[in-house]
Amino acid sequence: MIIAISVTLFFIVLRFVVTLFNFMSNPKLQRIARPYNDMVSILIPARNEQQNIEKLLRSITEQDYSDYEVIILDDNSTDDTYSICTRYASAHANINVIKGNALPDDWLGKNYACHQLAQQAKGKYLMFVDADEEIQPGLINSAVHRMHLRQVALLSLFTNQRMLTLGEKLVVPLMHFLLLNLLPVRLIYLTKNYTVAAASGQFMFFDAEAYHKNQWHQQVRNKVVEDVEIMKLVKAARYRGESLLANGLIHCRMYTGFNEAIHGFSKNFLAIFNYSVPGFLVYITLLIGGPLLVITTLNLPLIVLMVGLIILTRIMISLAAGQNAVLNVVLHPLQMASMLLIAFFSVQQYLTKNTVWKGRRV
């Protein structure tokens, strides 16, 4: 009992220290006013995105950056995605729409779409964004500045999340919670060890020369969590890579409700733990079972210490991620319940190999 409580408290303190490091080091993309004119290819894979794609395109054309092209790949959509995109492109000379090829057997859909897009790009930089995002003025210029400053082959951003329903607020904050609670983000750039890696496929900004030389999407063609795998490959090839928080420069509404969010997170949750089911279960046990064990001791000073560290952790993560800190603290127990549900479905889908996303088995 004493050993279990000691391990739990060590685990909570360690995660608090990691969160504090992330909060103090402030790993955000800084807004830069200095103008750049490097050609940027904005590459958008789109599959059944009729509800979202026009918002993204509008936000791109409202940018304060002029040296760019937009290429949209319609990935065999069954809705009006293609017609919406072609109609928008007809009014903007620097926007092009292409039809994706049939998906080969050994590829996953998004990876193949990105690979095809890169083959059509002419820019010095390749900016991959998802169709359900909106970008803010200053994003492209600030990203280009960061590439010049850091001399990295890949810059990835963890986007600010828009959550409209209670179901989304019970699940989506877990993304930043896991990131900022487990990994000192600055170390992705500072350390050469390729295993220290994290990235978000919602924003991947490549040096085009390095990308074309290495064909990174082709290398990860059958990987579900291609973003993290690409960052590992970038660092393993002795390039620099960096991941940052988006600092309000790009927003995304990942899911529209609780069920969709649970299903979406479940498909790649285990990848964070390198698909180790035992390691994943140990983490979940310490994260959720550990605090419950401490509460059963009825030791008030110990409980206050634990709760205080958890609350401070949630506040720091929420502020760094641009989220409502009070709401995340209040919803923390329900978010942990959502984590359990995600854990169950993640393990089930991994063991049965029956994960399906957007009509395709992954």
In this structure, are 236 and 93 located in the same domain? yes
Residue 30 lies in a domain: no
DSSP string, 58-71: HHHHT-S--SEEEE
Same-domain pairing of 172 and 217: yes
Query: Which alpha helices (H) appear in the chain, and where do they start and end?
Result: 2-25, 53-61, 81-89, 109-120, 139-150, 166-169, 174-182, 187-190, 208-214, 216-219, 226-236, 258-266, 277-284, 290-296, 300-321, 325-352
Check whether residue 211 and residue 276 sit in a common domain: no
pTM (two decimals): 0.92
Q: Is residue 312 part of a domain?
A: yes
What does the alpha-carbon distance between residue 199 and residue 157 come to, in Å, rounded to a whole number?
A: 7
Same domain as 127, residue 62: yes
Assess whether 213 and 293 both reside in one domain: no
Q: Could you tell me if residue 56 is inside a domain?
A: yes
Looking at the structure, tell me whether residues 139 and 52 fall in a common domain.
yes
How far apart (Å, rounded) are the C-alpha atoms in residues 277 and 282? 9
75 and 99 Cβ atoms separated by less than 8 Å: no
Q: According to the model, what pLDDT value does residue 310 have?
A: 96
Residue at which a domain ends, from 212, 234, 254: 254
Q: What is the DSSP letter of 354?
A: -
Last residue of a domain, one of 254, 285, 313: 254
**Per the structure block, which two tokens stand in for 299?**
């030791």
Asked if residue 357 is part of any domain, the answer here is no
pLDDT at 213: 97
- Model pLDDT, residue 266: 87
Give the domain extent around 343. 2-25+259-352
The residue ranges of the chain whose pLDDT is under 70 are: 353-362
Q: How far is residue 193's CA from residue 301's CA, in Å, rounded to a whole number?
A: 40
Question: Strand, coil or helix: what is 331?
Answer: helix
Question: Would you say residue 54 lies in a domain?
Answer: yes
